[in-house]
């Protein structure tokens, strides 16, 4: 739905033990504060309630809104988080990494040369391997190395809130995010997968392609959902495999393609040119581009 320029969009995430009246309490609070609900989705899994709500405000008192939602969270015994999308603010991206630098370095180069809009607010690693790359770029780096995934994701959630992150980029991040994390950020997490999905999902995609004698190998940038490697596809690129190619040469070509394909997906997102509906990504023409608040949810 087109949005009026000047609106402030907020995303509210609610998590907690399922109980009656939560939706009514949250939506009632939004209406009371003169907000208009743009989108809402909810789910209950094994007694755990989750809801994402997007609301627009022509004039918002952030201090009052934050205080009111904090009090409501206390009354409901639930976790309520708020993310603001101001129309005139550059979006903030967080890049998640592990050990492979090719995607990270390509994005950082693009930022330095002005190929992409937005800020690289923080880099989060599953270990400290790529900290020197972040340090050279002058970007904060946090290694989240907790063995327990719940503890790791709780720390990451704190960082995402601290840096007011709009987009999460998985630049060959080799830890699987749980559904509890992923559904908090619908169509806000982009991953790069080393195959032309839906072929060869999961780990070792290049090995699978090589062993199966694939004639065309590629990669896929996609939004992340609770179903591993099944999210809406943003970009795909490929190359032909020659008789002279080895597994190592395929990996090298694939990594170069991963970097450019992920960058293209990030660029389109930061230019507010991606809409997702009915589980499919639609890329807006520049002339038909709308503001950030018009981005759709599947």
Q: Is 138 exposed, middle or buried (0-12, 13-18, 19+ CB in 10 A)?
A: exposed
With contact defined as beta carbons under 8 Å apart, do 222 and 266 qualify? no
User: Could you give the count of Cα atoms lying within 13 Å of 183 in the half-sphere of its Cβ?
Assistant: 19
With contact defined as beta carbons under 8 Å apart, do 57 and 33 qualify? yes
**What is the distance between the alpha carbons of residues 95 and 73, in angstroms, rounded to a whole number?**
29
Residues 6+ apart with CB under 8 A from 258: 102, 103, 172, 192, 194, 219
**What is the distance between the alpha carbons of residues 51 and 235, in angstroms, rounded to a whole number?**
28
Q: Catalytic one among 66, 229, 245, 291?
A: 229
138: left (phi over 0), alpha (psi -120 to 50) or beta: left
Q: Which two tokens stand for residue 77?
A: 């015994």
Is residue 18 annotated as part of the catalytic site, yes or no? no
Residues taking part in catalysis: 229
């Amino acid at each position: 739905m087109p949005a009026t320029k000047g609106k402030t969009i907020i995303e509210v995430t609610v998590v907690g033990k399922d109980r009656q009246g939560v939706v009514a309490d949250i939506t009632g609070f939004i209406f009371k504060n003169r907000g208009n609900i743009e989108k809402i989705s909810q789910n209950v899994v094994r007694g755990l309630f989750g809801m994402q709500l997007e609301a627009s405000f022509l004039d918002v008192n952030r201090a009052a809104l934050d205080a009111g939602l904090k009090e409501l969270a206390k009354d409901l015994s639930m976790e309520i988080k708020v993310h603001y999308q101001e129309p005139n603010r550059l979006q903030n991206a967080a890049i998640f990494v592990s050990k492979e630098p090719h995607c990270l370095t390509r994005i950082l180069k693009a930022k330095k040369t002005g190929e992409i809009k937005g800020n690289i607010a923080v880099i989060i690693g599953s270990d400290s391997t790529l900290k020197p790359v972040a340090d050279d770029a002058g970007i904060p780096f946090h290694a989240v190395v907790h063995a327990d995934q719940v503890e790791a994701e709780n720390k990451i959630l704190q960082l995402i809130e601290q840096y007011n992150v709009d987009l999460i980029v998985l630049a060959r991040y080799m830890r699987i995010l749980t559904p509890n994390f992923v559904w908090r950020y619908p169509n806000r997490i982009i991953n790069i997968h080393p195959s032309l999905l839906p072929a060869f999902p999961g780990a070792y995609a290049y090995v699978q392609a090589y062993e199966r004698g694939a004639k065309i190998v590629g990669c896929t940038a996609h939004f992340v959902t609770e179903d591993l490697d099944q999210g809406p596809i943003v970009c795909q690129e490929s190359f032909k495999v020659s008789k002279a190619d080895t597994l190592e040469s395929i990996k090298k070509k694939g990594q170069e393609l991963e970097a450019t394909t992920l960058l293209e997906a990030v660029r389109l997102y930061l230019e507010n040119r991606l809409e997702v509906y009915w589980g499919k990504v639609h890329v807006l023409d520049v002339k038909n581009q709308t503001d950030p608040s018009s981005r759709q949810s599947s």
